[in-house]
Copies of this chain bind each other. A is one copy, B any other.
Amino acid sequence: MAEKKKAASVKGSAPVAGTKKVDGCKYVYFFGDKNTEGDASMRNELGGKGANLAEMCRLGLPVPAGFTITTDCCTAYFAGNCTMPKTLKVEVDAALAKVEAVMGRKYGDPDNPLLLSCRSGARQSMPGMMDTVLNIGLSSLTIPGLIKKTNNERFVWDSYRRLIMMYADVVMEKAEGIEPMDGKGIRKILDEILDQYKYIKDYKSDTDLTADDLKVLAGAFKRKIEEVLGVEFPDDPVKQLWGSIGAVFKSWVGAKAVSYRRIEGIPDEWGTAVNVQAMVFGNMGDTSATGVAFTRNPATGENLFFGEWLINAQGEDVVAGIRTPLPLNDETKTDQNKHMHSMEDLMPKTYKELDAIRTKLEKHYKDMQDIEFTVEDKKLYMLQCRTGKRGGKAAINMALDMFDEGLIDEKTAVLRVQPNQVLEFLLPIIEPKIEAKQPYLVKGLPAGPGAATGEIVFTAQDAVQASRLGKKVILVREETSPDDVEGMRAAVGILTSRGGMTSHAALVARGWGKSCIVGADAMVIDASNKTMKVGNRTFREGDVLTINGSKGVVYEGELPLVAPSASGDYDRFLRYMSLVDKYRTMGVRANADSPADATKAREFGAEGIGLFRTEHMFYGEGSAKPLFLLRKMILCTTPADRTAVLKELFPFMKTDIKNTMAVMEGYPVTVRLLDPPLHEFLPHSQLGRLELAKALNIAEDEVRKRVDAVEESNPMMGHRGVRLSVTYPEVTEFQARAILEAAAELIKDGKNVTPEIMVPLTCDVSELAYVKSIIEKVHEEVVRRFDLKELKYTVGTMIEIPRAAILADQMAGVAEFFSFGTNDLTQMTFGFSRDDIGSFMNGYLDKRLLPADPFQTIDKNGVGALIEMATQKGRSVRKNLKVGICGEQGGDPASVEFCFAQGLTYVSCSPFRVPVARVASAQAAIKAMGK
């Protein structure tokens, strides 16, 4: 049984960077009375939990004494190959002595033993991702003393069996890197023993277990542990303490924590602090209790004290959901719990005390706090306090309320909402009346807000392909992995049968504000056959579902979606956004390819279109005719034939552009010339070929030959972008004419329009000059033919090839504006084909060789260096050069901040992300003011 292998991974997986030796530093900070050494500003050293425990002590709040071992110590621990720094023991002993003094108990003392908890605490909260050990210090020596002291034999044995279970799991198994046997960890084995015992004794609940039962179980647990892990459960409190400290450190590099950090972008080298604190007990009888609370309602933002509590319980019981928690006070009771007793009823004095602390904390922190407390025999203790997480609506409501209350200033109010949170106000919802009547197909966890409806697909690749064809798809997977990110992006919604609220799908979807339901485990997915079953019903690729990601409910078929502006809080959103725009200095435009998108973009506050893709007309609805003409054109072999087809295509081009510019009247519209590799448009079916063969009056085989001739080894670096203009100048001429005639017609109608013509994929100024000269010629013609006094327009270029960035000073000699195409720029700068990273990106992220997928988060070091270089070089030649970004990162808050720092004129993103970019841009400006 002791054959379990030690996993080789633990030692090797220490943080990569922090290899500085920091022996000699102060590693331990005491808290608990007026001698408290830390404070809230020391979050980096003490972690969030440690810093706030110290701060609460400084505020005079009742906090059980303890000490925090710093994050630096964690770094030193890994640097030393998982050994504690030499000076640590002395510091811990000294701090422990102070704790003993304040608490009036002694650690390991047989008569009056102090018990300790040992909790992680990183700079940034990583809820549930790292480990905790409670009730440390119970041993054959201290148990009798504690029983005597508390006169509560059951409580002590219950605490002991909890210690054994946690310790065996966290310290003895996980921290040692032992692989679970048959996929079963020691925790599970012990749980099974517990369940079996309860079954034999016919107990319904853990509370039925008597002191004697628990004593028996503790003995059985210890025997099993030795059998399975080959090591004895330590009876020495000192050994328990140091084992727990090491285990918390090691949980920093546990798989769960690592993957959470990757998704949240938390650096590995930060490390975690360890908080060692005197145990207080909410489970010592009916005068004891434990609870969690928020100083305001985290779901709505309402200024009401909101929380849950349990009598005679330990903290984990509230979280674990074994017993139903009670409401904190009367005013926040709901229909479900209005019959229950509140703390306000049952412990009015303690509640008052707690409510006073609530007020004190909000005044002090000037923000909503998430607190944990324990009442040990009527005495209130504060165990945790941190800024509370909140939804988007709550965030806006709180920010505006606190501003109105005079608690915070305007800038702070703007900063209080995470940019992505505004998506909650923008995402479509299912028409409420219809949804109310609709039976649901299956339920899961509400992982990403908003509703979506679309055809189901079962692979990320299918999602990408279908979306390229203009289809709306819902990606259905058992669970998602970084491999699927492209497909997740392409889908309108994500639905998984496994995984919880912190699963990959949930974290990614939430980041994007994309509708997502996870853990809908009534679905049985067969990805290889592209089907899923719910009960005895089978759904296939292409079947339509509608999901409500805010509720976690899946419906069959297509339900009508409506804009959320119908909902009541929308005016609060608008008020917040007007504050945002007061501080925003960088422009925000939208990527929009149709009048409908443009209308949406205006509605969301876009100040122009940063990217109108002319090729959009060849995708999706209504594209059949233009696409057919385009195919015909591609297969023409002479400029004359091409010109003939272009004439047919011309009205389609012009109409699309004209209607979009009309919607955007008064704002600039950047129209990009044809960009994709031509092969993307060609038919791969026999039917498609036959149709073309007929139209071109040639044999199908000849069509096949010509289609094959267009195929490329590396299309991403092939015949596309401006290269098409060089080969087929007549195509560019027609595009320029479509844009400029559309503008001319609008000007004739008295409209104010300024097209910006954007040349994609340039690598040399000569290409740009060549295309510009074509456009200039067309412009002259159009002005003459429409008899206009003036037709203002500009010609600019995408900067998406490294060489264009390197030679940006030359480019700016001709280009009147730049727009960074960060998708392609990232591809070329890394030499990563975005379509092909699936096979190796995971390896890079798993081995922490890259901090993040650079297609999701702008790579500041490499791609960013080119952006900086190009902006500076461009402006060295053309002082007021307009510089924007229109890659997908244009709507990513971190990237918006980076663009602001580079002095970009605007960012451009999809219409829905325009408000996100507006918020991010305003926040960047406020932060740059030094707040």
Contact = CB atoms under 8 A, between A and B. Distances in A.
A387 to B, nearest CB: 33
Interface string A566-579: 00000000000000
Given A713-B835, A714-B716, A828-B828, A16 B862 contact: no
Contacts of A802: 802, 828-829, 831, 862, 866
Interface string A238-273: 000000000000000000000000000000000000
A788 interface: no
Given A836-B715, A849-B726, A831 B763 contact: yes
Given A829-B803, A831-B801, A719 B836 contact: yes
A476 to B, nearest CB: 21
A843 B726 contact: yes
Contacts of A866: 802, 806
Contact of A16 (B712, B766, B829): B766
Contact of A840 (B16, B719, B770, B840): B719
A562 interface: no
A404 to B, nearest CB: 48
Contacts of A767: 844, 849
Contact of A835 (B714, B824, B830, B833): B714
A651 interface: no
Given A807-B861, A840-B726, A712 B835 contact: yes
Interface in A814-866: 824, 827-833, 835-836, 839-840, 843-844, 847-850, 859, 861-863, 865-866
A557 interface: no
A836 B714 contact: yes
Most chain B CB within a 10 A radius of its CB, from A761, A840, A859:
A840
A830 B801 CA distance: 6
A727 B839 contact: yes
A498 interface: no
Contact of A712 (B719, B800, B833, B848): B833
Contacts of A827: 717
Contact of A831 (B16, B828, B850): B828
Contacts of A764: 849-850, 862
Contacts of A839: 712, 718-719, 727
Most chain B CB within a 10 A radius of its CB, from A727, A843, A847, A866:
A843
Interface in A376-431: none
Contacts of A832: 717, 763
Nearest to A836: B718
A726 B847 contact: yes
A806 B829 contact: yes
Contacts of A859: 803
A805 to B, nearest CB: 9
A586 to B, nearest CB: 25
B717 A717 contact: yes
| Identical subunits present | 2
B726 A844 contact: yes
Contact of A717 (B719, B763, B836, B862): B836
A843 B835 CA distance: 28
Nearest to A805: B802
Nearest to A831: B801
A723 interface: yes
Contact of A766 (B726, B835, B848): B848
A824 B831 contact: yes
A890 B719 CA distance: 27
Interface string A747-763: 00000000000000101
Nearest to A827: B717
Nearest to A711: B836
Most chain B CB within a 10 A radius of its CB, from A763, A770, A850:
A763
A600 to B, nearest CB: 31
A863 B16 CA distance: 32
A197 to B, nearest CB: 40
Nearest to A768: B849
Most chain B CB within a 10 A radius of its CB, from A767, A831, A836:
A831
A714 B847 CA distance: 24
B718 A770 contact: no
A896 to B, nearest CB: 22
A833 B719 CA distance: 9
B714 A849 contact: no
Nearest to A842: B727
B718 A761 contact: no
A710 to B, nearest CB: 8
A715 B824 CA distance: 16
A839 B706 CA distance: 13
Contacts of A718: 833, 836, 839
Contacts of A726: 840, 843-844, 847, 849
Nearest to A727: B843
Contacts of A716: 713-714, 717, 831, 833
A840 B803 contact: no
A850 B766 contact: yes
A833 B714 contact: yes
Nearest to A17: B766
A763 B862 contact: yes
Contacts of A803: 829-831, 859, 862-863
Nearest to A728: B843
B801 A717 contact: no
Contact of A713 (B828, B836, B843): B836
Nearest to A677: B836
B830 A763 contact: yes
A313 B859 CA distance: 73
Contacts of A723: 840, 843
A752 B924 CA distance: 60
A21 B57 CA distance: 81
A862 B806 contact: yes
Contacts of A16: 766
A831 B719 contact: no
Contacts of A835: 712-714
A849 B863 CA distance: 26
A319 to B, nearest CB: 37
Contacts of A714: 714-717, 833, 835-836
A766 to B, nearest CB: 4
A21 to B, nearest CB: 19
A178 B149 CA distance: 114
A893 B850 CA distance: 39
A766 B848 CA distance: 8
A847 B770 contact: yes
Contacts of A840: 719, 723, 726-727
A800 B833 CA distance: 15
A828 B803 CA distance: 9
A510 B298 CA distance: 78
A766 B849 contact: yes
A803 to B, nearest CB: 4
Interface string A726-753: 1100000000000000000000000000
Nearest to A717: B833
A741 B714 CA distance: 38
Nearest to A803: B862
Nearest to A861: B807
A643 B260 CA distance: 32
Most chain B CB within a 10 A radius of its CB, from A800, A829, A848:
A829
Contacts of A801: 829-831
A49 to B, nearest CB: 31
A57 to B, nearest CB: 41
Interface in A772-808: 800-803, 806-807
Nearest to A840: B723
Contacts of A861: 806-807
A232 B8 CA distance: 94
12 contacts: A713-B836, A714-B833, A714-B835, A718-B839, A719-B840, A723-B843, A763-B831, A766-B849, A767-B849, A800-B831, A802-B828, A802-B862
Given A713-B835, A801-B831, 8 more contacts: A712-B835, A713-B836, A716-B717, A727-B839, A763-B829, A802-B829, A803-B863, A807-B862
Closest 7 CB pairs of A and B: A714-B833, A717-B833, A718-B836, A803-B862, A713-B835, A766-B849, A802-B802
